[in-house]
């Protein structure tokens, strides 16, 4: 399901109807972003009223001012931000808009926070089609509604043609961490089990195939998805979840390495247990990539005490976003800080933190 | 005072010392941003450890992870975001770094929030000198320390050479709104006084003169500054402040127009009372600009009940950021939604919301 299945009108406003725009400049004759859209004047205000608010729909607010006022309960908040520069803007299974919402929702969730509010900030290249921007905004509204978060404040800047690349989006998110939850990258302990919520590599291969025009015989769709509800279910088991991490840029290898270093444990991954779809496997073989290094945008890795692993795994499998969850390895006292992969024939090899990225501009 | 007066080392870490960098790629031979710096692997981690953390200094954290965990008190929070694309990156009186910190601190403050935490997210063009980025990071740390806010979480993306423009920065900020404070753009009432914290036009003219290489005889420096402490002092008077707004993009004219529309009042500004420095006045005359439309980054406009105006004005003048504060006009019941300027000879003219911006890429 992609943003294309969205209804063209939403609870909070009509769909974009260029013919009804009231505008001091004839926008109907200029269907693209102009510098004035980023200038804080009438054109900026119209972009908010006629494009962002209808696009965000029920997930947005009628104000979208310079700052939002939100109510806070006492306790701990989770606060995260990411900028998104993925190329191309639209790819199989998603686009920069739902990616930007889901990505920050997930970052807020990975320390146990329940995401509540997101900001959205755009850097647009002069000449970007308003239609593209509207499609991205609709995706953001749709993804936010699905994830149960509100898009409460925002900003738009425009840069000269040639000084940007269509649409860049930043989202920042705030979530509330329930009492008693203590999920941190430095809490992995020797003996802990390592769980993965589903198969590897879909997002990276989807973006690469659409960018490079490579046809792998079957369309690989990005797995971009919000994981906050899955995290809720996992926390709801009462199990003491030590670490959560979404293996995005740098893939599973970067995520496991970072946790191994933060927690000063070794982490052993059994390669034969890693779920890699055939299309991803074929694409990786063709391109010389390792699926462990390819980005995911709708998967999480969990580290829990060994005796609680089955219970958490069962809860994950009962949720749509975790139905293919598997046990993939364990934490050990040996070689602290290092990730080791156990191959099918029983040999082991060290998997280091990637230096850069096999595929740039993946998110 | 600019970031150049910063000490080269800070409480939380040494200054950047390229010779001591430990790096799998010889960064010393590549003094510029490469794609790998945005890939979430070892190069990204080193950029955080060796550039951002020393640059942010005491205002940063030792973690700067995907998400920050912060403590919340019950009550209302103010949440804001802005992306910054100012061109050039460095201008008289500041750069994109302190601008990005001050701008979001001010947006959080304009609804009465006390800014506490900021996120920082970069979109860097491949080839950007690391030295430039380090200078920007130091400015951000310096500005954050001055404003009393922490830089708690962040992100870095890199785009191909030609797909960006050096350094873009997004900041999002969270502040706490004290009980009893109710500052909103729709609270202006007929009879209210309009106050301005200082002179107009410095930021816009500083950026324009440095971008276009125009010499106005004297160097105009940007007024970029955090206003949260001034707001604290104003709130501390106990006066019921109805509206606060920093007149940034679109200048005073955009700010006044927006408030007039939100509050459905008319706002009359006495032009002769507007403090415009001679250099700004000369530059505007030369360029055909109106100082009311030129951006400011360290000024605020306050709307308060007429009987409390003197008390608030006095408090503002007692603060460094408001020492030149003046009364500039009042809210009226006539022509709701419109801004009217009263000229020196007693005539009035309607000042409309600017359509675009006289100067693009100003912040």
Q: What is the CATH number of the domain that holds B296?
A: 3.90.650.10
- The structure's pTM equals 0.91
Angle at A273 between CA A323 and CA A113, to 5 degrees: 50
Mark out the alpha helices in B198-346 (DSSP H runs).
Answer: 202-212, 228-236, 251-263, 278-287, 309-317
The residue of chain B with its CA nearest to that of A113 is B69
Mutation site, B36, B41, B259, B339, interface A, largest A CB count within 10 A? B41
Which residues numbered 179-208 in B keep a CB inside 8 Å of some CB on A?
185
Query: In this complex, do B357 and A72 lie within 8 Å of one another by their Cβ atoms?
Result: no
Residue B42 in any domain: the answer is yes
Distance CA B32, CA B210 (A): 24
Least confident stretch, A53-57, A158-162, B72-76, B202-206: B72-76
Is the minimum CB–CB distance between B350 and chain A shorter than 8 Å? no
**How far is the CA of A72 from the CAs of A76, A112, B124, in angstroms?**
10, 17, 34
Question: Nearest CB to A41: which of B111, B185, B354?
Answer: B354
Query: In this complex, do A185 and B78 lie within 8 Å of one another by their Cβ atoms?
Result: no
For tokens 């998603």, the residue is A94
3-state secondary structure of B58: helix
Mark out the alpha helices in chain B (DSSP H runs).
Answer: 42-47, 53-56, 96-109, 130-147, 202-212, 228-236, 251-263, 278-287, 309-317
Backbone angles phi, psi at A272, to 5 degrees: -65, -20
ipTM of the complex: 0.91
Neighbours of B22 (CB within 10 A): 8
Distance CA A124, CA B358 (A): 18
> Are A135 and A235 contained in the same domain?
no
Specify the pLDDT at position A29: 52
Closest to A143 in 3D by CA, of A122, A118, A121: A118
Which of A177, A207, A235 is at the close of a domain?
Answer: A177
**How far is the CA of A71 from the CAs of A151, A176, B72, B174, B321, in angstroms?**
14, 11, 10, 12, 30
Positive/negative CA dihedral, A151, A153, A159, A164: negative
* Beta strand residue intervals within chain A, DSSP E: 67-72, 75-84, 90-91, 94-95, 114-125, 150-159, 167-177, 193-196, 241-245, 266-270, 301-304, 326-332, 339-342, 348-351
Distance CA A7, CA A74 (A): 38
Specify the pLDDT at position A207: 94
The residue of chain B with its CA nearest to that of A247 is B40
Residue B8: is its pLDDT beyond 80? no
Q: For the segment B92-144, what is each residue's pLDDT rounded down to a tens digit?
A: 999 999 999 999 999 999 999 999 999 999 999 999 999 999 999 999 999 99
Distance CA A83, CA A96 (A): 10
Q: How many residues does chain A have?
A: 363
3-state secondary structure of B211: helix
Radius of gyration of chain B measured on its C-alpha atoms: 21
For chain B, the maximum distance between any two Cα atoms, rounded to a whole number of angstroms, is 70
Residue B62 near residue B68 (C-beta atoms within 8 A) = no
**How far is the CA of B274 from the CAs of A131, A285, B234, B250, B344, in angstroms?**
42, 68, 21, 16, 11
3-state secondary structure of B204: helix
Taking residues B156-161, report their average pLDDT.
95
Is the minimum CB–CB distance between B23 and chain A shorter than 8 Å? no
User: DSSP per residue over A56-105, as a string?
Assistant: HGGGS-S---SEEEEEE-SEEEEEEEEEE--SSSEETTEEHHHHHHHHHH
- CB contacts < 8 A, A to B, total 252
Residue B301 near residue B175 (C-beta atoms within 8 A) = no
Residue B32 in any domain: the answer is yes
Backbone angles phi, psi at B7, to 5 degrees: -65, 155
Residue A143 in any domain: the answer is yes
Residue A199 in any domain: the answer is yes
Using a CB-CB distance cutoff of 8 angstroms, which residues of chain B are in contact with residue A119?
79-81, 172
Distance CA B187, CA B275 (A): 25
CA–centroid distance for B175 within its chain: 15
Q: Which two tokens stand for residue B268?
A: 């009359």
Residue B1: is its pLDDT beyond 50? no
For tokens 């990730």, the residue is A339
Is the peptide bond prior to A88 cis by the omega test (within 30 degrees of 0)? yes
Question: Nearest CB to A76: which of B45, B69, B249?
Answer: B69
Q: Phi-psi bin for A294: left (phi > 0), alpha (psi -120 to 50), beta?
A: beta
> Are A211 and A156 contained in the same domain?
no
Backbone angles phi, psi at B37, to 5 degrees: -65, -20
**How far is the CA of B43 from the CAs of B40, B119, B334, in angstroms?**
7, 20, 61
Query: In this complex, do B177 and A248 lie within 8 Å of one another by their Cβ atoms?
Result: no
> Are A83 and A29 contained in the same domain?
yes
**Reported confidence tier of residue B211, pLDDT bands at 50, 70, 90:** confident
Which of B177, B207, B228 is at the close of a domain?
Answer: B177
Buried b (16+ CB within 10 A) or exposed e, B314-333: ebbeebebbeebbbbbbbbe
Report mean pLDDT in 10-residue bins for chain A, 363 residues: 36 41 46 90 89 94 77 90 97 97 98 96 97 97 98 95 94 96 96 98 94 80 98 97 96 96 97 96 90 96 98 98 98 97 90 81 90
> Are A139 and A38 contained in the same domain?
yes
Specify the pLDDT at position A3: 38
Burial class (CB in 10 A: 0-12, 13-18, 19+), A77: buried
> Are A31 and A162 contained in the same domain?
yes
**How far is the CA of A358 from the CAs of A82, A343, B65, B146, B183, in angstroms?**
20, 22, 22, 40, 49
Query: In this complex, do A355 and B42 lie within 8 Å of one another by their Cβ atoms?
Result: yes
> Are B9 and B46 contained in the same domain?
yes
**How far is the CA of A330 from the CAs of A265, B45, B124, in angstroms?**
10, 24, 37
Closest to A256 in 3D by CA, of A337, A158, A155: A337
Taking residues B322-337, report their average pLDDT.
98
Using a CB-CB distance cutoff of 8 angstroms, which residues of chain B are in contact with residue A45?
258, 353
Query: In this complex, do A43 and B249 lie within 8 Å of one another by their Cβ atoms?
Result: no
Specify the pLDDT at position A322: 98
Distance CA B221, CA B64 (A): 32
Which of A123, A152, A177 is at the close of a domain?
Answer: A177
> Are B155 and B249 contained in the same domain?
no
Distance CA B309, CA B320 (A): 19
> Are B150 and B255 contained in the same domain?
no
Residue A187 in any domain: the answer is no
**How far is the CA of B81 from the CAs of A92, A279, B61, in angstroms?**
29, 40, 20
Mark out the alpha helices in A190-273 (DSSP H runs).
Answer: 202-212, 228-236, 251-263
3-state secondary structure of A113: coil
Tally of domains within chain B: 2
B278-287 helix and B202-212 helix, angle to the nearest 10 degrees: 60
Using a CB-CB distance cutoff of 8 angstroms, which residues of chain A are in contact with residue B164?
163-165
Distance CA A171, CA A118 (A): 6
Domain residues for A237?
193-351
Mutation site, B46, B67, B256, interface A, largest A CB count within 10 A? B67
Higher pLDDT, B363 or B7: B363
| CATH code for the domain in which residue A14 is found | 3.30.1330.10
Query: In this complex, do B249 and A40 lie within 8 Å of one another by their Cβ atoms?
Result: yes
Q: For the segment B161-191, what is each residue's pLDDT rounded down to a tens digit?
A: 999 899 999 999 999 999 999 999 999 999 9
Is the minimum CB–CB distance between A63 and chain B shorter than 8 Å? no
For tokens 């109807």, the residue is A17
Mutation site, A30, A40, A65, A254, interface B, largest B CB count within 10 A? A40
**Reported confidence tier of residue B29, pLDDT bands at 50, 70, 90:** low
Specify the pLDDT at position A26: 41
Using a CB-CB distance cutoff of 8 angstroms, which residues of chain B are in contact with residue A43?
355-356
Which residues numbered 28-47 in A keep a CB inside 8 Å of some CB on B?
34-45
Residue B61: is its pLDDT beyond 90? no
| CB-side neighbour CA atoms (13 Å) of A357 | 26
> Are B168 and B295 contained in the same domain?
no
In angstroms, the separation between the Cα of residue A6 and the nearest Cα of chain B is: 27
Specify the pLDDT at position B28: 42
Specify the pLDDT at position A11: 36
> Are B171 and B290 contained in the same domain?
no
Specify the pLDDT at position B258: 95
A106 membership: H or E segment, kind and range: helix A96-109
In angstroms, the separation between the Cα of residue B224 and the nearest Cα of chain A is: 17
Distance CA B295, CA B211 (A): 15
> Are B142 and B248 contained in the same domain?
no
In angstroms, the separation between the Cα of residue B337 and the nearest Cα of chain A is: 14
Q: Which two tokens stand for residue B22?
A: 């430990």
Q: Which two tokens stand for residue A4?
A: 């294309």
Specify the pLDDT at position B217: 73
Residue A330 in any domain: the answer is yes
Distance CA B83, CA B121 (A): 9
Using a CB-CB distance cutoff of 8 angstroms, which residues of chain B are in contact with residue A172?
81, 119, 121, 170, 172
Residue A117 in any domain: the answer is yes
A202-212 helix and A278-287 helix, angle to the nearest 10 degrees: 50
Taking residues B210-223, report their average pLDDT.
84
Residue B159 in any domain: the answer is yes
Sheet of B339-342: strand order equals B241-245, B301-304, B193-196, B326-332, B266-270, B339-342, B348-351
> Are B152 and B249 contained in the same domain?
no
Specify the pLDDT at position B22: 39
């Amino acid at each position: 399901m992609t943003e294309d299945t969205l209804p063209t009108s939403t609870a909070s406003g009509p769909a974009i109807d260029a013919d009804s725009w009231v505008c001091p400049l004839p926008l109907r004759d200029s269907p693209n972003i102009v510098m004035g859209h980023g200038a804080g004047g009438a054109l900026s205000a119209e972009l908010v009223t006629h494009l962002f608010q209808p696009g965000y729909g029920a997930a947005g607010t009628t104000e979208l001012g310079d700052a939002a006022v939100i109510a806070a309960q006492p306790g701990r908040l989770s606060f995260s931000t990411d900028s998104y520069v993925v190329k191309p803007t639209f790819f199989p299974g998603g686009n920069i808009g739902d990616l930007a919402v889901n990505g920050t929702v997930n970052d807020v969730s990975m320390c146990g926070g329940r995401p509540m509010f997101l900001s959205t900030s755009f850097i647009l290249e002069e000449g970007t089609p308003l239609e593209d921007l509207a499609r991205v905004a609709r995706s953001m509204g749709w993804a936010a509604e699905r994830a149960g978060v509100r898009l409460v404040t925002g900003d738009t800047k425009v840069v000269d043609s040639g000084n940007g690349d269509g649409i860049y989006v930043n989202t920042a998110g705030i979530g509330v961490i329930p009492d008693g939850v203590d999920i941190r990258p430095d809490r992995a302990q020797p003996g802990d089990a390592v769980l993965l919520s589903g198969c590897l590599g879909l997002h990276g291969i989807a973006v690469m195939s659409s960018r490079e025009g490579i046809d792998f015989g079957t369309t690989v769709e990005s797995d971009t998805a919000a994981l906050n509800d899955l995290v809720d279910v996992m926390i709801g088991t009462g199990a003491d979840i030590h670490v959560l991490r979404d293996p995005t840029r740098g893939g599973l290898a970067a995520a496991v390495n970072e946790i191994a270093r933060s927690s000063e444990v070794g982490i052993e991954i059994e390669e034969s247990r890693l779920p890699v779809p055939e299309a991803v496997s074929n694409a990786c073989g063709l391109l010389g990539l390792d699926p462990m290094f390819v980005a995911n945008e709708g998967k999480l890795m969990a580290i829990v005490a060994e005796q609680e692993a089955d219970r958490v795994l069962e809860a994950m499998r009962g949720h749509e976003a975790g139905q293919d969850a598997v046990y993939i390895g364990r934490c050990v006292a040996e070689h602290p800080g290092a990730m080791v992969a156990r191959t099918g024939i029983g040999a082991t090899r060290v998997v280091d933190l990637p230096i850069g990225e096999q595929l740039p501009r993946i998110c």
